Amino acid sequence: MDTLFFEYKNELLGTAICLLVLLILKYLGTKAIKKVGKISDINEVRTRLIIKYSTVGLTTFGIVALILIWGVEMKDIGLVFSSVFAVIGVALFAQWSILSNVTAGVILFFSFPFKIGDKIKIMDKEIELPNEVYLIEDIRAFHIHLRRNNGELFTYPNNMMLQKAIALAQTYEDSLERSEVL
């Protein structure tokens, strides 16, 4: 045990100093952020969020400093970071619902029978007002912005636009008028 301590004396001392400096910086930073938040009359929730961001930044800085103190080579760090980012990428972006919304958004944007500016009716029992006419304001990557007649903005997932029956408002109203005549 004594040989281990003497062999890594510089690294252990550097680690202790690094952790002490990080704790002092976290304390001073938190105090300063709270003071600025109080002086500027910023919402307490937002102040805590900024404190959380600064803590994450300091922690990241501390991890990098400890890696450098312990003499880890840059090629090893690159391997670890690329592996971590690959796992995070798969976890965040490979979910079916996200991919289906993006794919549906592309399909809706390029080759579906309605476009931005059209008025549509969504035949879905789960919608509050199923026979209401909506104006398509925007087709985004994950959802569509629909404007109700009363001016309220309504978002609807892109994949649901492909799964539910959608009628162009003019076509739907024309078919209702023809069925009433018959």
Which range in 35-49, 102-116, 162-176 is most confidently predicted, on average pLDDT? 35-49
Mean pLDDT confidence for 95-101: 68
Closest listed residue to residue 48, CA positions, set 60, 61, 37, 59: 37
Is the confidence at residue 85, as pLDDT, over 60? yes
Q: Using a cut of 0.75, tell me whether the model's pTM lies above it.
A: no
Task: Quickly state the pLDDT bin for 112 (edges 50, 70, 90).
Answer: low
pLDDT, position 111: 61
In this structure, the chain runs to a length of 182
Residues 6+ apart with CB under 8 A from 123: 130, 164, 165, 166, 167
Q: What rounded mean pLDDT belongs to the chain?
A: 79
Closest listed residue to residue 172, CA positions, set 119, 96, 102, 112: 119
Determine the 3-state secondary structure of 126 from DSSP: coil
**pLDDT, tens digit, for every residue of 159-168?**
888 888 888 8
Give φ, ψ of 156 to 5 degrees: -135, 130
Residues 6+ apart with CB under 8 A from 121: 130, 131, 132, 133, 134, 166, 167, 169, 172
Is the confidence at residue 139, as pLDDT, over 70? yes
Q: CA separation (Å) from 71 to 30, 60, 107, 112, 157?
A: 30, 17, 51, 57, 49
* Burial class (CB within 10 angstroms; exposed 0-12, middle 13-18, buried 19+) of 105: buried
Is the confidence at residue 93, as pLDDT, over 70? no
* Burial class (CB within 10 angstroms; exposed 0-12, middle 13-18, buried 19+) of 60: exposed
Is the confidence at residue 59, as pLDDT, over 70? yes
pLDDT, position 19: 95
Q: CA separation (Å) from 118 to 86, 145, 153?
A: 40, 12, 15
Is the confidence at residue 178, as pLDDT, over 70? no
pLDDT, position 29: 92
Mean pLDDT confidence for 64-81: 81
Q: How many CB atoms lie within 10 A of CB 1?
A: 5
* Burial class (CB within 10 angstroms; exposed 0-12, middle 13-18, buried 19+) of 21: middle
